[in-house]
């Protein structure tokens, strides 16, 4: 499961940069095809390995979806805070991150 969560987190790092590089670096503002060409292959491979790893442990596709959702929200919050300076410390965002963490915990520990 840890391997799957790692690959989900890494995939979401690539996804964050694919979709948000346009807001970080001026050069990417009008280059969607180049941005997709750079980030889509490693992102897709990481998602493939994440789903494969979580499925081999849980045997349920729903687990892959929910663990990926939770990992994606956590990665998004951290990168958006560190790189764009948007605070993740509002009550609304912290509540959502807590819920995302609970979703991952339920999928890992509830048998």
Would you say 67 and 5 are in contact if contact means Cβ atoms under 8 Å apart? yes
pLDDT at 6: 98
Question: What average pLDDT score do residues 90-103 get?
Answer: 91
Q: What is the C-alpha separation between 18 and 36, in angstroms, rounded?
A: 6
Main-chain dihedrals φ then ψ at residue 66, nearest 5 degrees: -75, -40
Please tell me the predicted confidence (pLDDT) of residue 7: 98
pLDDT digits (tens, 9 = 90+) for 32-72: 999 999 999 999 999 999 999 999 999 999 999 999 999 99
CA triplet 88, 93, 95: central angle to 5 degrees? 130
Q: What is the pLDDT of residue 111?
A: 79
Percentage of the residues of the chain whose pLDDT score is greater than 70: 100
- pLDDT of res. 80: 97
Q: Mean pLDDT, to the nearest integer, of 73-101? A: 93
Which pLDDT belongs to residue 94? 92
Give the Cα separation of 16 and 64 in Å (integer): 19
């Amino acid at each position: 499961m840890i391997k799957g969560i790692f690959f989900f987190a890494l995939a979401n790092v690539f996804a964050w940069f694919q979709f948000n590089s346009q807001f970080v670096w001026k050069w990417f503002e009008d280059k969607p095809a180049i941005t997709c060409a750079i980030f889509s292959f490693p992102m897709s491979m990481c998602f493939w390995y994440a789903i494969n790893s979580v499925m081999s442990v849980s045997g349920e596709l729903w687990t892959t979806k929910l663990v990926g959702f939770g990992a994606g929200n956590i990665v998004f919050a951290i990168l958006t805070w560190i790189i764009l300076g948007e605070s993740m410390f509002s009550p609304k965002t912290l509540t959502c991150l807590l819920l995302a963490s609970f979703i991952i915990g339920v999928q890992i520990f509830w048998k």
